[in-house]
Amino acid sequence: MTEIKKGHPSRGISVYSYQALLGRTMTLDDVFEEMHDTGATCFEFLTSYIEGYPNPSPKWVDHYWMLCEKYHMQPAELGHWCETHLHRGPKMSDEEIVEELKQDFRLANLLGFKSLRTKITCTNVLCDPEPGWQSYIEKALPYAEKYDVRMQNEVHLPTTLHTPHIREEYLDFIRRTGTDRFGFNIDFGTFQTRAAKGMEDNPMFHFDDVSKPEEIVEFLPYCWTCHTKFTYMDENCEETTIPYRQIIKLMIDNGWSGNLVSEYEGVLAYNSDKNIQEFAKAMVGIPEQVRRHQIMMKNILGY
Amino acid sequence: MVEFQAVQQRGFHNYYDENGNIAGFEFKFVPRYYKGLWFTQCRFGNVEVDGEVYDRDCISIIYDGIAYSREELFDLKRYWQFRTPIVVRVPKKGGLSVGYHDVVMNFGWVLNYNGALEKEKDGSGLGNMAHMFGTKNERRMLLCR
């Protein structure tokens, strides 16, 4: 039996982690400097943070690449939205949707991203996709190939890896088409077993049915970037509600070498615009939370 | 850089017509949401000041120097950049008085997230995201001129 070569995931950060501060007290330059301080080597960006989206100026693109070079940060994933209802009235045609996707593929290619977090229109809190998605995504596959990007549907709490549509729709699509241009960004929140500090009263999240770590193995071949989600890091730089070490060991032992990007989504961000006291807490606390998470990731990965 | 509140105090003042008379008031607004929005998916509601309601069809939304009505924005395929304020211009003869005012901007949007698709196809509502983020943005602000 051939031994699987151990994987070597990259350690990164999602710029989304700083969204409560970006444009308020932090510029994009500040965010890059902050990320660099942590030792992260790659990052997730959102189309929304592209100045002039969907037509950024050459000046902005040059500045973006300058930041990547100055702070030694590799583009990992571009988060974008597969819009199907841009206008009032009926859903857009497949051709209109694919045109929107092509626009983002071109941008991702221009900005150096190989993977995308593609938000497919969903219709309920479990993120069951709007019927008919297979048709336009299949039509977009040749363009994903052309621009060398991979679309990933995010598996985000309360969706689990055993929520029916994950297997019956998305996995079925991948196997039927044989594509390597569509897969999953598995958000580690899907493995969370209880509320983290400060999030106990959030009605959006329930933990009675969550993904089990071993479930991830089957999905790894279709996975290029994952959100290492966290909502609270303690003073010892530990996250205690998600079995991080077990999940990452499974990924490495199964030869996975994608990007793990820290994504903060805790109470400091949720409360940041409530009042000046909460905003002040967020201003200090969010960068500190990300730093703590990066220390934990470094301890787990060893680099 | 913008202030951390959705309703911005910077830019809150009365405005004048071509004859130098106060024609109304204006303020800036930037959504609290973590991403930018297509204007076609924005749903602008009424403005309220000190309890008085100003109908959404009477206000102008100014973006990048161009004024639009709410109805025009339904067809404006343009991206509202993240953390970039619009100017909300509200006609009111004589404007607001100098002093503190409680300003409310009602605003929602349509997005493909975690909820039923927009039911009101005519855009008469405030989008399909209210269940997650609310639609009322309030701030007490000091007007100087």
Is residue A174 within a helix (H) or strand (E), and if so which, with residue range? helix A172-177
B54 domain residue, yes or no? yes
**At B77, is the secondary structure helix, strand, or coil?**
coil
**At B85, is the secondary structure helix, strand, or coil?**
coil
Chain A residue closest to B132 (CA)?
A: A204
How high is the pLDDT of residue B124? 76
Which chain B positions have a beta carbon within 8 Å of A122's beta carbon? 112-114
Interface predicted TM-score (ipTM): 0.94
Cβ separation of A23 and B3 shorter than 8 Å? no
Collect all residues with Cβ–Cβ distance below 8 Å to A66 and sequence separation of at least 6.
none
Cβ–Cβ under 8 Å, residues B7 and B103: yes
Collect all residues with Cβ–Cβ distance below 8 Å to B72 and sequence separation of at least 6.
none
Regions of chain B short of the pLDDT cut 50: none
A1 domain residue, yes or no? no
A4 domain residue, yes or no? no
A54 domain residue, yes or no? yes
Predicted structure pTM score:
0.96
- Residues from A contacting B (CB-CB < 8 Å) are 16, 19-20, 22-25, 27, 46-49, 51-54, 81-89, 119-125, 127, 130, 204, 272-273, 276, 279
Q: How many Cβ contacts (< 8 angstroms) between chains A and B?
A: 84
Spatial distance between the Cα atoms of A39 and A175, rounded to a whole number of angstroms: 37
CATH number at residue A41: 3.20.20.150
How high is the pLDDT of residue A83? 93
Q: CB atoms < 10 A from the CB of A168, how many? A: 10
How high is the pLDDT of residue A125? 86
A75, two tokens: 């583009």
Spatial distance between the Cα atoms of B59 and B101, rounded to a whole number of angstroms: 18
List, by residue number, the catalytic residues of A.
156
- Residues from B contacting A (CB-CB < 8 Å) are 1-6, 32, 34-36, 38, 40-41, 74-75, 77, 79, 81-83, 110-118, 121-123, 132
Give the tens place of pLDDT for each residue, A263-286.
999 999 999 999 999 999 999 999
How high is the pLDDT of residue A1? 62
A157, two tokens: 């709490």
A3, two tokens: 């031994």
How high is the pLDDT of residue B112? 77
Which percentage of chain A shows pLDDT scores above 70? 100
User: What is the domain count for chain B?
Assistant: 1
How high is the pLDDT of residue B111? 85
Domain of residue B32 covers 7-143
Regions of chain A short of the pLDDT cut 70: 1
| Rounded alpha-carbon distances, angstroms, from residue A209 to A157, A205, A212, A217, B65 | 10, 11, 9, 18, 50
User: What is the domain count for chain A?
Assistant: 1
Chain A residue closest to B43 (CA)?
A: A88
Give the tens place of pLDDT for each residue, A104-144.
999 999 999 999 999 999 998 899 999 999 999 999 999 99
A90 domain residue, yes or no? yes
Q: B74 to chain A, minimum CA–CA distance in Å?
A: 7
Spatial distance between the Cα atoms of A62 and B142, rounded to a whole number of angstroms: 41
